[in-house]
Amino acid sequence: MRLEYFEMIDRVARFDREGKRLDARSTVPMESPVFEGHFPDHPLVPGVLLTETMAQASGYLLLGLVDFAHMPFLVGVDRARFRTFVGPGTVLDIEAAVEHEGSGYAVTKAKIRADGKAICDAELRFKTLPFPAELKDRMRDRAREIGLVEAA
């Protein structure tokens, strides 16, 4: 994970096209400028970045399912719960599953665990739009780096 660059997913562990589910793994860095403010001498991953992690896992799942035909943009977060603190060095197991595929939008449920213990969960909504021209190749490159292209 590189928190300050919003690179939240280290590796896609499993992509299940039929079950419409993706599992990923990320390790919280030992140091990050984020921890200088959140919080001084008491580093914790902010809830908004855990939400972003769930959103990115969901986004890569949706991208894989449509073979990069559309780009999912986060438009809603429902029932987000943060159940325990996450500090530097924590290994996160991230799971995202499609709840509903609508016309022009999708809904996922995502959760994060560490050592089998629930960290957080939420229901996320995405609007799916045509890819901005400059973004598609960058997203494919990043998906390749984290193993999504290979897994899908």
Partner 1 sequence: MSSTFDTVANIIADTADIPRDKITPESHAIDDLGIDSLAFLDIAFAVDKAFGIKLPLEQWTQEVNEGKVPAEEYFVLKNLVARIDALVAAKSA
Instruction: List residues binding partner 1 (CB under 8 A).
Output: 75-76, 100-105, 107, 125, 127
User: Quick one: 43 or 72, whose CB is closer to partner 1?
Assistant: 72
User: Quick one: 93 or 99, whose CB is closer to partner 1?
Assistant: 99
Least distance between partner 1 and beta carbon 93 (Å): 27
Contact 12, 146 (CB under 8 A): yes
Q: How far apart are CA 2 and CA 4, in angstroms?
A: 6
Residue 42 token pair: 């008491």
> Which DSSP string corresponds to 25-47?
EEE--S--THHHHSSTTS----H
> Which DSSP string corresponds to 68-79?
TSEEEEEEEEEE
R_g of the chain, CA atoms, integer Å: 15
Least distance between partner 1 and beta carbon 130 (Å): 10
User: Quick one: 16 or 101, whose CB is closer to partner 1?
Assistant: 101
Tell me whether residue 42 is one of the annotated catalytic residues. no
Residues acting as catalytic residues: 38
